[in-house]
Amino acid sequence: MRMRTARLGALTLSLMTSVSMAWAVESTDPIKLTLHDWSGQLINTKIMGNILKEAGYNVEYVQADYIAQFAGLKNGDLHLAMEIWETTGREALDEATGTGKVVNVGETGLMAIEEWWYPSYMKDRCPGLPNWEALKDCAEEFSTAETAPYGRYVGGPVTWGGFDEERVEALELDFEVVHAGTDAALFAELESAYQREDPIMLWVYVPHWAPAKYDGEFVEFPPYSAECYADPSVGVNPDLAYDCGKPRGPIWKAAWSGLKEKWPGAYDVIEAYNISNEEMSAMVGKVDLEGVDIDTVVADWMKTNKDRWSGWITQ
């Protein structure tokens, strides 16, 4: 009798939990999260998606362009973008939130740096570094057979933005910008050059494993300001904008403005979500360096941090 009573009690509790969860989920329509083309963003997005699933929500992942995704966020075809970098996406984010159709859901906890980076062995060939002005005298040290006498700068995929071509022109640097097709190709270039101590200057970002694996430095450009990007008269070149470095700062969560009304519980979870640079760099390293599947890395994080994400759901 006691065993039967206990089983009935467990069943009742299970039913109550299911009903409570059904009430908590305001709509069974899928919440559409955007996926991009770098490992950290895929990890971040799938962690968020898994947490929302644990809260009872239906989740759908949609491949989308980093900047062009804002069109979908504005019209509600897309619902959540987990990584808008202060370094490259702030202008697009501000424009989108200015329409009232997109909302900034706050910081992810990640702090971003995206800038020109070189291996330390290049300082012997360009001793004025990390000061950007040294590049005026030693651009050829970064050249390849294809770009000589111009230095070669390997930028990220074109969809990442970043204004590198404009920066080269405004600062009058003798560099040719060559865009990597993918995130993986970008760091394959670094690995290949680093092993042979070949010349290389490329886009490196944080959080990422590369600055920990390779000895090197970011170029120190004139400090970023919004005016530098917007007003040609501001900065070292009175005639051209973008004559400064890239901004640094948080990585933001952006959402369709209707998300909070349609899925208020999910919105609260998204708003509470945060993760650190150290956590993310370690996970990206597992994927990119150790070949661990992204879904496995995400599952490990979910298991290790259950108390943490459960608190975001029940707050």
Q: Where are the domains of the chain?
A: 27-111+249-314, 113-230
CA atoms within a 13 Å half-sphere pointing along the CA-CB vector of 107: 10
Residue 105 structure tokens: 């859901």
CA angle 273/160/194 to nearest 5° reads 100
Instruction: Please state whether the peptide bond connecting residue 149 to the residue before it is cis, i.e. omega within 30 degrees of 0.
Output: yes
CA angle 190/180/39 to nearest 5° reads 75
Same fold, 27-111+249-314 and 113-230: yes
| pLDDT at site 21 | 45
Amino acid in position 294:
I
Q: Which helix (H) or strand (E) holds 203?
A: strand 201-206
Q: Considering the chain, what percentage of its residues have pLDDT values greater than 70?
A: 92
| pLDDT at site 77 | 98
Segments of the chain with pLDDT less than 70: 1-24
Residue 67 structure tokens: 């900047």
| pLDDT at site 184 | 92
Interacting residues of 120 by C-beta distance below 8 A, sequence separation 6+: 215, 216, 217
pLDDT in tens, 225-237: 999 999 999 999 9
17-18-22-23 Cα dihedral, nearest 10 degrees:
-30
| pLDDT at site 69 | 97
Using CA atoms, how far apart are residues 109 and 252, in angstroms rounded to an integer? 8
| pLDDT at site 15 | 36
* Residue 239 to residues 220, 227, 236, 275, Cα–Cα distance (Å): 21, 13, 9, 41
Strands 175-179 and 151-155: parallel
pLDDT in tens, 32-67: 999 998 999 999 999 999 999 999 999 999 999 999
| pLDDT at site 232 | 96
Rg (the chain; Cα; Å): 23
Using CA atoms, how far apart are residues 250 and 2, in angstroms rounded to an integer? 56
| pLDDT at site 314 | 84
Using CA atoms, how far apart are residues 118 and 175, in angstroms rounded to an integer? 14
Helix boundaries (H) for the chain: 2-24, 39-54, 69-75, 90-98, 135-138, 164-170, 183-196, 210-213, 226-230, 259-262, 264-272, 277-288, 294-304, 306-314
CATH number given to 27-111+249-314: 3.40.190.10
Using CA atoms, how far apart are residues 307 and 49, in angstroms rounded to an integer? 17
Domain 113-230: give its CATH architecture: 3-Layer(aba) Sandwich (3.40)
Residue 239 structure tokens: 């005639």
CA angle 150/170/145 to nearest 5° reads 10
For the chain, helix, strand, coil in percent to 5 are 45, 20, 35
| pLDDT at site 94 | 95
Surface-to-core class of residue 211, CB atoms within 10 Å of its CB (0-12 exposed, 13-18 middle, 19+ buried): middle
Using CA atoms, how far apart are residues 218 and 216, in angstroms rounded to an integer? 7
